[in-house]
Amino acid sequence: MTDLFDDLPTPDVDWYPDWLAPDLAGQFLARLVDEVQWRQDIIGTPGGRVALPRLTAWQGDTDAVYVYSGIRNLPQPWTPAVAELKAAVEATCDARFNSVLLNRYRNGTDSMGWHADREPELGPEPVIASVSLGVARTFDLRHSKTGATQSFSLKGGSLLVMKGKTQTEWRHRVPKEPRVTGERVNLTFRWVTPRMRSGPSSSA
């Protein structure tokens, strides 16, 4: 029998819900909260300047420069626990990563809105490996053309690998869940086309 839902698109992801044992995931969470230089970013919106609803950090190789809003963001050096997670993720994914964006959701009122990770320096079909630590949070993927949605509960110790057309055809978010009181840290490991760190600049 043909199922009405057979034609719905599904995102190109690999899902490892129990990638890290719970006690190890707990140890990594504590180390990351302590060792990472967390910052509160402020962004400009039509309504004025607002604080992002989460804390962030960017680590990577020195040439993994990430440009957004026309600003070159130099990565912080790898810290020990992040470097350990990177090596483990590379082994699981059989891929290389030279940078990671870390997001720290202090409780359920912290969040990340709909977006896709499609900056040019990530290339056309990036492999992005997402490690979650701490409390489980919902992660929604929505197909841009059809609106088809797939949701994951990204629990502590899980690994979700997004690849293929997941960034070009889908958007994703971490919605607010006001009843969630615990903390969560997420790491998205990426390969950013290496750039020169300094040199002649054509703009002021």
Ligand X SMILES: O=C(O)CCC(=O)C(=O)O
Question: Shortest CA distance to 88 belongs to which of 104, 76, 100?
Answer: 100
Neighbours of 169 (CB within 10 A): 16
H-run or E-run covering 90: helix 80-93
* Angle, in degrees to the nearest 10, between helices 80-93 and 22-35: 130
Residues forming a β-bridge with 131: 159, 187
Chosen from Mn ion, ligand X, none, partner binding at 85 (C-beta under 5 to 8 Å by type)? none
What track of x and - describes contact with ligand X for positions 41 through 80 (by CB under 6 A)?
Answer: ----------------------------------------
Chosen from ligand X, Mn ion, none, partner binding at 154 (C-beta under 5 to 8 Å by type)? ligand X
Please give the torsion angle defined by the CA atoms of residues 92, 95, 97 and 102, in that order, rounded to the nearest 10 degrees.
-40
Residues near 6 by beta carbon (within 8 Å), at least 6 away in sequence: none
CA quadruple 124, 129, 135, 139: dihedral positive or negative? positive
Nearer to Mn ion, 63 or 117 (CB): 117
Residue nearest to ligand X (CB): 186
| 89 binding ligand X? (CB under 6 A) | no
Chosen from ligand X, Mn ion, none, partner binding at 174 (C-beta under 5 to 8 Å by type)? ligand X
Answer for which of 82, 101, 159, 192 binds ligand X (CB under 6 A) is 101
Answer for which of 90, 117, 140, 183 binds Mn ion (CB under 5 A) is 117
Question: Which residues in this chain contact ligand X in the complex, by CB under 6 A?
Answer: 101, 103, 112, 117, 130, 139, 154, 172, 174, 186, 188
Question: Which residues in this chain contact Mn ion in the complex, by CB under 5 A?
Answer: 117
